[in-house]
Every structure is written in structure tokens, then in C-alpha cells.
Amino acid sequence: MFPAKYRLLASFSILVFLLAACATDTPQEKAADRESLQGVVDGAAETVTAFRTGANAAAVNAALADARGVLVYPKITRAALLGGGSGGFGVLVGRSATGVWSSPAFMSYGGATFGLQAGVDTASVMAVIKTEETLKALAEGKPVFGGSANVVAGDSATEQPIKTTGADVIVFTRSLVGAYAGINLGSGVVDPANDRNANYFGQPATATQIVIDHAVSSPDAKVLKQALAK
């Protein structure tokens, strides 16, 4: 085994290499990444509209009426045989005390799933945040979803609302592809993707600065704000 100082040097070298790789993104690559992020925002807007006009529209709109925030994943995919994982990429949007929606902060989702599963199943998820405290916790990357946040997915005509403990979050889901038997948000990790925020807004920005402080914004988020404000 190598002495500790050599292991430390090797780790430092790897870190320098990774940072250099990130720093050498070309303008074309950055533009492509920015376009991909805009696709997530546009997809979130489409997801919100689909929920607000679907078969369960009354429950969705009632939940949004006094919401303090919304977490939207246009697409969470689970793929496995005997065991595997689920993952997705979405946005968190905050609402001020005066009713103004923030621009989106990007949020990743990763979770383990176990049991006999075949094929690839995909669903869209919208979690309506009812309290400022829970919104802040999500923006800071703190665990929010517990075992009660199980979501039983249905087809486009049967979105199922599930309330977490304390009724501070209401989760809606729609299956998109395959027989998606269910999601348990509590089994995964919801994390701010602040590196994506920097690319989208053109400056460093944390989820808290975006959705709580409303200190960073982009006109390109207008489509999502409009979908939430209807």
C-alpha cells in the first residue's frame, strides 16, 4: 500500500484534473448545457399544465392555491432487473408571501429501488409545498420526504394525491411509460444542483437565493411562472 502522503497527492491530482476538465468547457458546450436546462424548465411548465388540466385538476388547483412552493420532476425513470435505481432532474420554485413565483432552482433526484422489476418505467411528479419551513429545507438539501411520501402512480386520468406527515407536502404523479407501480420519494435523495443553477443563470446561485430570497432570476423562466400563476 502507498504511504498516506502519496495517496493524498494522487487524490489532489485527480481533483485538479477534474476541475481543469470542467474549466475547459467550450462556449458551444456551455450553450448546449444551457439549452438542455431550458428544456427541463419547459418540461416542468408542461408538467404543471398537464396536472392543472387533468382528471384531478380540482385537487391540484386547490393544493396550488395557497402553496409556498412546487417541486417538479418532468420525468423520473426507474430501470431494473432484480434491483436497480431511479433518477430524475427537475426544478424547485418558491412563492413569496405576496404571491410572486420565483425562477426555478435545479434539483436532482436519485433513489434505490429493489425487487423484481422489468423494463423501464417513467413518471412525472409534482410535489406541492405548503409551508415556508419545508420549502427552505428542500432548498438547503435537507431530507423532507419520509416513509409517508409514497406515491402510487396512475395513468393520465387517475393522478393520485398523497399527503406527507403534517400535510405540508402534497405529491401528485402521472405515469408516462410502462406500468409504473409506484414511487417512494422517501427512499431517494432530493438535492439542489447549484452547478446547474450557475450555468442557467450565468452566475453562481444557490437554491436558497433563488426560491427563498428571489435574488436571482431569468426571463427564460416566464413559461413556468405562467403555468403556475394561472
With residue 85 as reference, give the H or E element that holds it. Answer: strand 83-94
Of the chain, the percentage scoring pLDDT greater than 90 comes to 36
Q: Which three cell numbers mark 14?
A: 485527480
pLDDT in tens, 111-169: 655 443 445 567 788 889 988 998 998 899 887 765 444 443 333 333 444 444 445 88
The residue written with cell numbers 387517475 in the block is 158
**DSSP structure class, residue 147:** T
Say yes or no to pLDDT of 99 above 50. Answer: yes
* pLDDT value at residue 125: 83
Q: What share of the chain is helix, strand, coil (3-state, %, to 5)?
A: 40, 30, 30
Q: Where are the domains of the chain?
A: 27-229
User: pTM of the prediction?
Assistant: 0.75
Say yes or no to pLDDT of 184 above 60. Answer: no
Residues 6+ apart with CB under 8 A from 100: 214
